[in-house]
Amino acid sequence: MFRRLLVANRGEIALRVMRTAKEMGIATVAVYSEPDRESLHVAFADEAYCIGPAAPSASYLNVENILDVAKRAGAEAIHPGYGFLAENAGFARKVLEAHLIWVGPHPDSIDAMGDKVRARQAMVKAGVPVVPGGTEAIEDVAAAHQAAKTYGLPLALKASGGGGGKGLKVARTLDEIEAAFTTAQREANAYFKNGMIYAERYLENPKHIELQILADKFGNIVHVGERDCSLQRRHQKLWEEAPASISKKVRKGLREAGIKAAKAIRYDSVGTIECLVAGDEFYFLEMNTRIQVEHTVSEMISGLDLIREQIRVAAGEQLGYDQDDIEFRGYAIEGRVNAEDPGDNFRPAPGTITKYREPSGLGVRIDSAAYEGYTISADYDSMISKLVVWAPTRDQARARLRRAIDEYKIEGVPTTLPLLRGLIDLQSVKDGSYGTATLEKFAATAFASPTNGTTHQVPAVKNEPGEVIRVEVNDKLYRVRVLDLPAGTASSGLRPAAPRRASTRKSAAATGNDVRSPMHGVVVELNVKEGEQIASGQVVAIIEAMKMMNEVRAHKDGTVTKVHASQGETVEAQSPLVTLQ
């Protein structure tokens, strides 16, 4: 077993990995961007190094900086967490070329599943059922029309290199195909630098079921049960539970197909087979070659620490057990607590948490890096925490989740807690019949009006002599105890700490002539040009913020007299996008 692990990620997943590493006697190295200096994963690690400014491309996606830190810190292995570089085969290869251990699957496996067209081809060859559709890329709108004739409507046009709903558009009529194809291709290029699109039949309100896979480097493969991840908004999950409410036929077939799929690509780590289930039929959707956000519910019903197992097999150990040794007990539910406004189309709401108190008690688990005074940055994901409960029965798990949500206190930003609380008593959630379309329909009726945001100020941190302060030397973070600092002198840099700027939750302008961006983000699409006549409610632009696509619509009819932004540009909250007359 190696002795020092660098975690190439941030927030709750970095903290989650480090906790298991500490239990295993492994020293941990954190990396952080400049605004993440106050993060808990930085404080928890044995060593921490700054790797750049806020922009992920300059920090958490900066491969050279991360590898340089690994060398300086004497790390023997790198764990990527999820997101960022977790499914980047090029990064994995560079880690191995640097003679470090990659805590993840072999890069060839990442490549095999990273391209959705290639993944579909591999699954068809392995005899695993796939969603009806093509196994080749479609080049243009004409090919998309032909796919609609072949596979029927509605038709999903999907980015081959994508995931998380990015680069996915649905055409329900032939008239919608051109716009859907063009937009999907544009998003695919913007997010994944890969404009390849493929088509498959879009299934209305299926179940989204995942199978947790665990494999070592000796050919031993087991599954750790399935999860129901159907409660989603914008194709991104908010509620996951295990075991899934599916038929015995589907459960048996899905487990067999999942093992077959993992064997087909010689998988050798933790991973997830994602499927769509309609009635008694299931179809391979994609494979995530990493630990997933919702791994927690599989851990709760199996008793396995999946991070520990991932580290063990990366270090060359055998699993040491087979399928019959894994016993599933009870039910677990995870609710993602995000800084989003369910009443405003799940608009991300970066800001500062002014009050924070976690629930506790039997069967309650919180995976989080949040605390009172913590600022949720617009540069990263909107997740505050994962609230996980376990109980012997599903009804008891729902009741425990209800109690935990009522006990959970978060102020300063709107969150998804009220939505999760409402879902508990929704009939289709009670009986387990819900599908992928359930949550958004529920939110549209139950949360019809947006939640007002708040303005809040983070007080300056005061350090008295004798306290431990933090100092960066050549980008490495040191903790220093101050003994003889003169009274009245601020210890941070020997000057008063500047107060942070207040963070305000704002909505798009609904008056005046300007259509403004409701948030800091990147203009992924700009759909109008000067001189164009547009109608109230028309989509003017799409802003990507906190890993979510946000439509900005015109608040009145008018003619575009000025376009202030351009595609690919980063804009600030309340900055004008276009002016109408």
pLDDT band with cut points at 50, 70 and 90 for residue 429: very high
Q: From the CA atom positions of the chain, what is the Rg in Å?
A: 24
Q: What is the pLDDT of residue 484?
A: 60
283 and 355 in one domain? yes
Q: What is the pLDDT of residue 436?
A: 96
322 and 232 in one domain? yes
Q: What is the pLDDT of residue 490?
A: 45
Which tokens sit at 286?
């994609």
Task: Examine the pLDDT at 140 and tell me if it is beyond 60.
Answer: yes
Angle of the 89-97 helix axis to the 107-114 helix axis, nearest 10 = 170
The lowest-confidence range among 175-184, 473-482, 491-500, 539-548 is 491-500
Let me know if residue 386 belongs to a domain: yes
Let me know if residue 378 belongs to a domain: yes
Q: What is the pLDDT of residue 500?
A: 36
216 and 186 in one domain? no
**Running DSSP on this structure, what letter comes out for residue 114?**
H
Q: What is the pLDDT of residue 453?
A: 39
Q: Which domain holds residue 552?
A: 506-580
The lowest-confidence range among 161-175, 341-355, 384-398 is 161-175
Q: Please list, in sequence order, all residues whose beta carbon lies within 8 angstroms of the beta carbon of residue 151, skipping any fewer than 6 positions away.
A: 132, 133, 134, 199, 200, 201
Tally the domains of the chain. 4
Task: Examine the pLDDT at 395 and tell me if it is beyond 60.
Answer: yes
- Taking the C-alpha atoms of residue 73 and residue 429, their distance in angstroms, rounded to an integer, is 48
Q: What is the pLDDT of residue 537?
A: 85
Last-in-domain residue among 446, 475, 494: 446
Q: What is the pLDDT of residue 461?
A: 36
Average confidence (pLDDT) over 47-69: 96
227 and 94 in one domain? no
pLDDT band with cut points at 50, 70 and 90 for residue 385: very high
pLDDT band with cut points at 50, 70 and 90 for residue 470: confident
- Taking the C-alpha atoms of residue 222 and residue 271, their distance in angstroms, rounded to an integer, is 11
Average confidence (pLDDT) over 422-435: 97
Q: What is the pLDDT of residue 455?
A: 33
301 and 382 in one domain? yes
Q: What is the pLDDT of residue 539?
A: 87
pLDDT band with cut points at 50, 70 and 90 for residue 459: very low
Which tokens sit at 392?
């012997």
pLDDT band with cut points at 50, 70 and 90 for residue 245: very high
Which tokens sit at 500?
């942070």
Q: What is the pLDDT of residue 117?
A: 87
551 and 432 in one domain? no
Let me know if residue 464 belongs to a domain: no
302 and 219 in one domain? yes
Q: Given phi > 0 = left and psi -120 to 50 = alpha, else beta, which region is 14? A: alpha
Let me know if residue 285 belongs to a domain: yes
The lowest-confidence range among 120-134, 288-302, 541-555 is 541-555
Contact status, residue 520 vs residue 572, Cβ threshold 8 Å: yes
- Taking the C-alpha atoms of residue 60 and residue 39, their distance in angstroms, rounded to an integer, is 14
End-to-end CA distance of the chain: 67
Average confidence (pLDDT) over 100-115: 95
pLDDT band with cut points at 50, 70 and 90 for residue 457: very low
Average confidence (pLDDT) over 471-497: 62
Let me know if residue 455 belongs to a domain: no
CATH of the domain at 323: 3.30.470.20
- Taking the C-alpha atoms of residue 542 and residue 510, their distance in angstroms, rounded to an integer, is 17
308 and 400 in one domain? yes
Q: What is the pLDDT of residue 193?
A: 76
Average confidence (pLDDT) over 72-93: 97
Let me know if residue 167 belongs to a domain: yes
Let me know if residue 230 belongs to a domain: yes
Tens digit of each residue's pLDDT (9 = 90 or more) over 10-28: 999 999 999 999 999 999 9
195 and 211 in one domain? no
Last-in-domain residue among 178, 201, 224: 201
The lowest-confidence range among 101-105, 143-147, 190-194 is 190-194
- Taking the C-alpha atoms of residue 543 and residue 522, their distance in angstroms, rounded to an integer, is 5
Q: Pinpoint the alpha helices (H) of 315-424.
A: 394-407, 417-423
Last-in-domain residue among 168, 186, 201: 201
Q: What is the pLDDT of residue 235?
A: 86
Which residues share a beta bridge with 145? none
User: What is the rounded average pLDDT for all residues in the chain?
Assistant: 89
Let me know if residue 126 belongs to a domain: no
175 and 228 in one domain? no
357 and 227 in one domain? yes
DSSP 196-252: -EEEEEPPSS-EEEEEEEEE-TTS-EEEEEEEEEEEEETTEEEEEEES----HHHHH
Tens digit of each residue's pLDDT (9 = 90 or more) over 246-304: 999 999 999 999 999 999 999 999 999 999 999 999 999 999 999 999 999 999 999 99
CATH of the domain at 530: 2.40.50.100
Contact status, residue 525 vs residue 565, Cβ threshold 8 Å: no
Which tokens sit at 294?
């919702």
Instruction: Look at residues 108, 292, 128 and name the one whose alpha carbon lies nearest to residue 210.
Output: 292
**Running DSSP on this structure, what letter comes out for residue 34?**
G
426 and 288 in one domain? yes
- Taking the C-alpha atoms of residue 389 and residue 300, their distance in angstroms, rounded to an integer, is 8
Tens digit of each residue's pLDDT (9 = 90 or more) over 168-226: 899 999 999 999 999 888 888 877 778 889 999 999 899 999 999 999 999 999 999 99
